[in-house]
Amino acid sequence: MGTLPRGWSQPGHDRAGPTRDCSRTWGRVQGGQVGSRRVCHEVRLRDRGPLLSFPAGGIHLDPAADLDGFERVVLDVDGTVLLGNRALPGAREFVEAFRSNGSTVCFATNASFATGETVARRLRAAGVPAEDHLVLTAIEVLAEYLRPQPGRTGPGSRAIAVLGSDPAFEILERSGLVVTRTRDREPEEPVTDLVVAGMSHDVSDIEVEKAAAALAREVKVTVPNLDVGMVSSSGVLPGSATILARLARLAPGVLDVTDVGKPSTVFADAVDRVAPCRGRTLVVGDSLTSDIPLGADRSWESMLVLTGTTDLIGLAGIEGEPPDMVSPDLPTAMRRGWRRG
């Protein structure tokens, strides 16, 4: 099996020290199931952090599970490569290792307030090599989705109102779309689409009420992501779902929302356009909901890193297909893969 990194354990090879059975605090997960797949044997909390044990049929350490053979690598940004404007340990080396092996490395973020060019500058400033055209942000994917495309079915010509952050509005406007801010619209003005974009603390109740009134006229709602929050150096920032929840309380009926961020097929299509690939693809991220499912219907493989929104407790309680590989961080992943058994 090899030597586990500090903070991990194997069945029957516990470290000395006080333990608490997680069933007392988190509900019993011993022998937990995800569909018909056994996820883990037990999760325990120690005074110095969580430990995870795996049986032969679960997620286990596999020294043979190296990271060779991937033609394309799709890396999440915040919580995976960066924390704020600082590179997480091993990020630069991780990217350079894949690039030196001939892999195309692209970055994919559900950011609703930045362009790929802006995120690429952040990455390079932190010492992580990145090319502008290989950085995808959800708000730019949304702009592409709403823009009429010759020979491609889509929403067509739209009058778009934006509820949320000013940066999202500005990016959509610069992309050539006809957009207005919800707060600037008159009630009688026609609107075909409402874009709800998070990362804003300045959305007033009046704006939300205006948006809710527009929904009575069969307006389509599109969001760059359904993230609850985003990891930053100052903590977790609220995502688009926060504003969407406020809107849902006032909306007439059930909201019909199109999410074009990770892990949607719209976002996966965007990855294929900017970085075509016929071989194996590896998606690396910290989110079980937005990163790991990306491209699953296209047989893309996935690796979860525990440096952002997901910890071992979250991994143990996963509802849905688990990641193909799990690593505490990027440096450990470079030394040895963690593969689903």
Domain count for the chain:
1
**Band of pLDDT at residue 155, cut at 50, 70 and 90:** low
- Residue 23 domain-assigned (yes or no): no
d(CA 293, CA 129): 25
- Residue 162 domain-assigned (yes or no): yes
d(CA 101, CA 339): 21
The residues facing 143 across adjacent strands are none
Range of the domain at 244: 140-259
CATH classification of the domain holding 144:
3.40.50.1000
- Residue 121 domain-assigned (yes or no): no
- Tell me which H or E stretch contains 330: helix 330-335
Helix (H, G, I), strand (E, B) or coil at 255: coil
User: Which pLDDT value is given to residue 324?
Assistant: 87
215 or 42: whose pLDDT is higher?
A: 215
Of 313, 258, 334, whose CA–CA distance to 40 is shortest? 313
Contact at 8 Å (CB) between 85 and 126?
yes
- Residue 309 domain-assigned (yes or no): no
Q: Two tokens at 168?
A: 């999202």
- Residue 212 domain-assigned (yes or no): yes
Q: Two tokens at 15?
A: 């470290």
pLDDT digits (tens, 9 = 90+) for 57-99: 344 444 445 677 899 999 999 999 999 899 999 999 999 999 9
Placement of tokens 């500090």 in the chain: 6
Query: Of the ranges 24-28, 182-186, 282-286, 302-306, which one carries the lowest mean pLDDT score?
Result: 24-28
d(CA 60, CA 169): 45
pTM above 0.85, yes or no: no
- Residue 1 domain-assigned (yes or no): no
pLDDT digits (tens, 9 = 90+) for 98-138: 999 899 999 999 988 899 999 999 999 999 999 999 999 99
pLDDT digits (tens, 9 = 90+) for 260-270: 999 999 999 99
Q: Which long-range contacts (CB under 8 A, 24 or more apart) does 302-308 make?
A: 303/327, 303/333, 303/337, 303/338, 305/80, 305/329, 305/330, 305/333, 307/79, 307/80, 307/83, 307/88, 308/76, 308/78, 308/79, 308/80, 308/231
Contact at 8 Å (CB) between 231 and 269?
no
- Residue 111 domain-assigned (yes or no): no
User: Which pLDDT value is given to residue 330?
Assistant: 93
User: Which pLDDT value is given to residue 25?
Assistant: 22
- Residue 110 domain-assigned (yes or no): no
